[in-house]
Structure 1
Amino acid sequence: MRKVLVLGGTQYFGKKLVQKLIENGDQVTISTRGTKNDPFGNQVERLVIDREKKDTMGIAFANKDWDVVYDQSCFSPIEARDTAEVLKGKTKRYIFTSTQAVYEFGTLHKEENFNANTYEIIYKTRKEYPGYEGYKEAKRSSEAVFHQLGYFDAVSVRFPIVVSADDYSERLKFHVDKILSGQAIGIQNSDLRYSFIHADEAAEFLLKIGASDYKGPINPGSAGDISLRELIDKIVKLGGKEAMIDASITAENPSPYSLPGSWSIDTSLAERLGFAFIPLDQLLEELITYYIQEYKRV
């Protein structure tokens, strides 16, 4: 039985990961601020920490060790450094949930397009990373800490946009609801392209990559990418309603996917390592169909 620590694990695909670890027979500890309830009952141990206060981790992790650590809750290089220092010698394998946002805006990025081993780290708190640019820098710097310190066999999992029927952000649902209700969607550039992964597959990937001996960065997800225009066309076709696209952005209409540029990843390395994901068209069409059915029930 492996001993596994999950930093976070009480939101979205973090919860799915914890459930999969339990079903895998692992001895699971989740470590959070203790402000959210979780559904795991006595199936997990719980440790209360504050990622922004190193001493809380030192106390919580004293005299403990784990076979693998999953980090779902790191949002600054200071947190990465403090956590790495506290966990040094307590685990050999560290799986960091990162993002495709570490890459510059663009399409089908390969792992080598951002090198965490040479990235210059500027230590800031999570509050000093506002907006998309801040998020990008925070994740880049956090990756750099884990890989440059070399305390663990570290993996940076660069997730694309995560979607599922139970997606709390409802970003895909936003587009379906707007089109079916005849409301405008604010999009200034319909040609921007993005990659996606199903939340269940995100959790399954984390489970399996943690059990492997791979280390370094990796891009998981459905192969390829899709433009906002193509996404809207899918919703129109499946929903039978025309879309109203407005280049004038207001407080009510902006598409949650209308970002400053394209972000998509090349998933061929994960595929070569034996990981399989649902085809992108199937993933999106199944979810769009689900949201259409939910809309019609209301």
Structure 2
Amino acid sequence: MMNILVVGGTRFFGIPMVEKLIADGHDVTIATRGKSQNSFGESTKQLVMERTNYDSVKEALAGKSYDVIIDKIAYSSNDVKNLLENVSCKKYIQMSSCSVYLEDKENIREEDFDSRKYPLAWIDRIKDYAEGKRQAERAVYEYIDESNCIFVRYPVVMGPNDYTNRLRFYADHIKEKKPMYVDDLDCGMEFIHEKEAGLFIAHLVDQDVHGAVNGCAKGMISSRDIIEYIEKITGKKAVLDANGDEAPYNGTTSNLSYDTTKARQTGFRFSDSNEWIFDLIKSYL
């Protein structure tokens, strides 16, 4: 059993992650702003803090120590500073993102972005999500030895509890015949299901691995695949218009996929996205 602090974790893929940690017998403490319901009840302890406020974090965590910290809401270098200057741990796992990679291409490997070599800037949260995540990774090395930290890099996470509604955008627009702008119908992308996203992080708490780790389901899916499936189910044609609402997955410049060799070497197995993505789309319809 390990003493684990989860920063965030009360919604989306944080839920299957915490459920797995509890099932594995760990002593779990969740730190949140206290605005999301803690559905785990007495199975976890809970601390209330405002992550972006140094004094709030210090009041909640100063002097505390954990075997593992799972940080799901690090969006800037100052987020990391606020946390790691006020609490200690033997292992730190940060929920990072595949958006840290500087080039869209197939089979992206972890070493394609080495945050150890990235110039550090102490910044608060900014509109540039990708840069914020790069700085969040880089800041960790100011506090934690390389051998004791893990950066989990996921592409877009999908599932029935996805509050971003990116996939639902396509279903709703086609059902309602609302114009949408898709910049590249045939550019393939890889995704990950919310349950696997949570389970993989929980899996990593007792694995001998460090540094960046990619995680995603197998198989690229294009906007055309999504649209044609919805058209088939609904019997309605998508209204594609350059002046329509901007589609969520626009901006990718090439087929986009990730090498998950490092993750799979820990014994974790990811699904094929074709096993669940079309059922997920159907649930929106």
TM, length-normalised to structure 1: 0.87
- Tell whether 2:211 aligns with 1:213: no
- For residues 120-135 of structure 1, the aligned pairs below 5 Å read 120-126=119-125, 129-130=126-127, 134-135=128-129
- For residues 45-194 of structure 1, the aligned pairs below 5 Å read 45-87=45-87, 90-108=88-106, 109-126=108-125, 129-130=126-127, 134-151=128-145, 153-194=148-189
Quick one: which of 247, 262, 273 aligns to 1:280?
273
Deviation readout 1:117-147 (Å, 9 max, x if unpaired)? 1000111111xx11xxx11111001111113
Match of residue 259 from structure 1: 251
Deviation readout 1:5-38 (Å, 9 max, x if unpaired)? 0011122112222222122211110111222222
The 1:273–1:138 alpha-carbon spacing in structure 2 relative to 1, beyond 3 Å, is same
Q: Secondary structure at the match of 2:169?
A: helix
Q: CA deviation at 1:2?
A: 1.4
Q: CA deviation at 1:112?
A: 0.8
Given that 2:152 and 2:212 are in contact with CA atoms closer than 8 Å, whether structure 1 keeps it comes out as: yes
Q: Secondary structure at the match of 2:47?
A: strand
Deviation readout 1:204-248 (Å, 9 max, x if unpaired)? 000001221211101111123222223222333444433222222
Deviation readout 1:31-89 (Å, 9 max, x if unpaired)? 112222221222211112222222322222234321111001111101112322222xx
Given that 2:180 and 2:243 are in contact with CA atoms closer than 8 Å, whether structure 1 keeps it comes out as: no
Given that 1:223 and 1:267 are in contact with CA atoms closer than 8 Å, whether structure 2 keeps it comes out as: no
Deviation readout 1:248-293 (Å, 9 max, x if unpaired)? 23xxx2212223545542223322332212212222112122222x
Match of residue 13 from structure 1: 13
Q: Secondary structure at the match of 2:246?
A: coil
Q: Secondary structure at the match of 1:168?
A: coil
Match of residue 28 from structure 2: 28
What is the letter of the counterpart of residue 160 of structure 1? P
Q: CA deviation at 1:151?
A: 4.1
Q: CA deviation at 1:94?
A: 0.6
The 1:193–1:147 alpha-carbon spacing in structure 2 relative to 1, beyond 3 Å, is farther
Q: Secondary structure at the match of 1:69?
A: strand
Aligned length in residues: 282
Given that 1:71 and 1:94 are in contact with CA atoms closer than 8 Å, whether structure 2 keeps it comes out as: yes
**TM-align CA RMSD:** 1.9
What is the letter of the counterpart of residue 173 of structure 1? R
What is the letter of the counterpart of residue 112 of structure 1? E
Quick one: which of 282, 290, 294 aligns to 2:283?
290
Match of residue 204 from structure 1: 199
TM, length-normalised to structure 2: 0.91
Match of residue 245 from structure 1: 240
Given that 1:117 and 1:148 are in contact with CA atoms closer than 8 Å, whether structure 2 keeps it comes out as: no
Given that 1:223 and 1:266 are in contact with CA atoms closer than 8 Å, whether structure 2 keeps it comes out as: no
Q: Which moved more, 1:258-267 or 1:270-279?
A: 258-267
Given that 1:31 and 1:49 are in contact with CA atoms closer than 8 Å, whether structure 2 keeps it comes out as: yes
Structure 2, unaligned runs of 5 or more: none
The 1:264–1:104 alpha-carbon spacing in structure 2 relative to 1, beyond 3 Å, is farther
CA distance in 1, matches of 2:259, 2:131: 21
Given that 1:222 and 1:267 are in contact with CA atoms closer than 8 Å, whether structure 2 keeps it comes out as: no
CA distance in 2, matches of 1:15, 1:273: 22
Structure 1, unaligned runs of 5 or more: 293-298
Q: Secondary structure at the match of 1:211?
A: coil
Q: Which has the higher helix share?
A: 1
Q: Secondary structure at the match of 1:67?
A: strand
